[in-house]
Amino acid sequence: MRLPQFSAVHRRITEIPLLVAVLGALFFALPLRAKVVVDFDPNLDFSKYKTYAFIGGVENLVAIQLNPDLIEDRMHHTVVRELDKRGLHEVKPEENPDLVVRYWANSPAQLDVAVAGDWGPYNAYVGGYWGFLFESVSASSKKEGALIIDLIDPKTKGLAWRLYFVGKFTNPDKEWKRTDEEISKGFEGYPPSDKAKEDKKQERAEHPPKSQ
């Protein structure tokens, strides 16, 4: 009678590594959650921004495996939806908007050379206090890509607010729904709360400005 009991216990013990292996395989087969990071200038009064103009993507940095027209249409729709929910109103670029909105979608290799190319009237904003999170995102997106949305003050030509989406979006038809949902969550941080501003000031105090 003891031998069967031992066999049953032994069988359960030997099954544990197999169960762990199966669960591990299932875990790693699940899609990894995208990383969304928000950065902003904590010294700004965001209530002064009432209008915005969408100026599209930085053409020379849009990843070549993406359809620029498709991405631009979807990005425009997402930006309008999120900013309109927050009381801002879209105008044309020539109508003196309070903010201009642009995006850049990059493959991992392109993110490393982001400062190259023609940025027009607004620069890349990868130095100064913006450099800390930019370098962090650059490091975490080596095997993926980064979609960056910038809200820029055209009067000062200063970056006001930035959203980073790090993940896979090489197939917009298949992956855009998830990307859109993550971007929407990122916009929940606009405008920044008073607490978020204080936290950001502390973060910038701990991380000196990066050289341009």
Report how far residue 206's alpha carbon sits from residue 211's, in angstroms, rounded to the nearest whole number: 16
Q: Which two tokens stand for residue 31?
A: 């899609």
Average pLDDT, the chain: 77
Domain ranges of the chain: 1-30, 32-206
Cα angle, residue 198 at apex, residues 89 and 126 outer, rounded to 5°: 70
The whole-angstrom separation of Cα 70 and Cα 152 is 23
* pLDDT of amino acid 6: 38
For residue 19, pLDDT over 50 is answered with no
**Given a cut of 80, is residue 53 above it in pLDDT?**
yes
211: confidence class by pLDDT, cuts 50, 70, 90: confident
**Is pLDDT at 31 greater than 70 in this prediction?**
no
Whole-model pTM: value is 0.78
At 143-174, the pLDDT tens digits run 677 789 999 999 999 999 999 988 765 565 66
CATH value of 32-206 in 3.30.110, 3.30.160, 3.40.1350, 3.40.50: 3.30.160
Task: Read off the pLDDT of residues 87-141 as tens digits, 9 standing for 90 and up.
Answer: 999 999 999 999 999 998 766 555 555 556 667 889 889 889 999 988 887 765 5
Give CA torsion, residues 14, 17, 18, 21, to 10 deg.
180
The residues, ordered by sequence, that sit 6+ positions from 89 with a Cβ below 8 Å of its Cβ are 50, 51, 52
